[in-house]
C-alpha cells in the first residue's frame, strides 16, 4: 500500500514538469519554425504584445548575456546544479510548496534543454507599452517566475501564520 502511494505521488510529481516542458518546447519549436519560414525575427506585432525571436545566451530575461564560451558553459553548469538542488527540495517538500517547486523545475528543464542543444534559449514574448519594453521571455520563464512568486508568497504567509500562533 505504501509503495502504491509513493508510485502515485511520483507520477503526479512528474506530470507537472513534463507538461510545462512540453508546452515550452512546443511554443519554441513553433516560433522557431515561423521565423525560418518568414525569414524575419519579428513575427507578430500589436499595441501591447510582440512575438519576436531573440536568442538568449544569458539567464532569465537575457540577464548576463555574453560571448565568452567558457563563461556560458560555467553558467550552464550552475543552472544544472540549481536544477539538482530544486529536485532535492521537491523530494523533501509536500503540499503546495512541492507544486510550486515543480513549476520551477519544469521551466528550468525547458531552458536547460535549449542551452544544451541550441547553445542559447529562444525567447519570443515581448510585452510593452508604447516604447517601454519588458524583457523578452518564453513559456519556461513564465513558469519559473510564477513558481518563484508563489513560493515567496507561500513562505511569507506560512511564516506569518506560524508567528501568529506564538
The three cell numbers locating residue 35: 521565423
Helices (H), the chain: 2-38, 69-92, 95-117, 139-165
Phi, psi of 149 (to 5 degrees): -60, -45
Which residues, including other chains, have CB under 8 Å from residue 93's CB and lie 6 or more apart?
Answer: 101
Residue 40 a catalytic site member: no
Q: Which of 24, 114, 126, 141 is catalytic?
A: 141
In 125-135, which positions are buried (b, 16+ CB within 10 angstroms) versus exposed (e)? Answer: bbeeeeeeeee
Residue 123 is among the residues annotated as catalytic for this protein? yes
- Considering 24, 114, 123, 126, which one is annotated as catalytic? 123
Tell me the catalytic residues.
Answer: 123, 141
Amino acid at each position: 500500500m505504501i509503495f502504491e502511494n509513493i508510485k502515485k505521488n511520483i507520477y503526479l510529481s512528474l506530470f507537472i514538469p513534463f507538461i510545462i516542458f512540453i508546452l515550452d518546447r512546443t511554443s519554441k519549436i513553433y516560433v522557431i519554425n515561423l521565423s525560418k519560414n518568414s525569414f524575419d525575427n519579428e513575427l507578430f506585432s500589436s499595441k501591447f504584445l510582440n512575438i519576436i525571436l531573440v536568442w538568449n545566451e544569458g539567464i532569465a530575461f537575457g540577464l548576463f548575456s555574453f560571448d565568452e564560451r567558457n563563461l556560458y558553459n560555467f553558467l550552464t553548469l550552475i543552472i544544472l546544479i540549481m536544477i539538482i538542488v530544486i529536485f532535492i527540495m521537491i523530494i523533501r517538500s509536500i503540499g503546495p510548496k512541492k507544486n510550486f517547486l515543480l513549476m520551477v523545475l519544469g521551466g528550468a528543464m525547458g531552458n536547460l534543454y535549449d542551452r544544451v542543444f541550441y547553445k542559447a534559449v529562444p525567447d519570443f514574448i515581448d510585452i510593452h507599452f508604447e516604447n517601454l519594453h519588458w524583457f523578452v521571455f518564453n513559456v519556461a520563464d513564465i513558469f519559473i517566475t510564477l513558481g518563484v512568486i508563489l513560493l515567496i508568497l507561500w513562505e511569507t504567509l506560512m511564516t506569518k501564520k506560524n508567528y501568529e500562533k506564538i
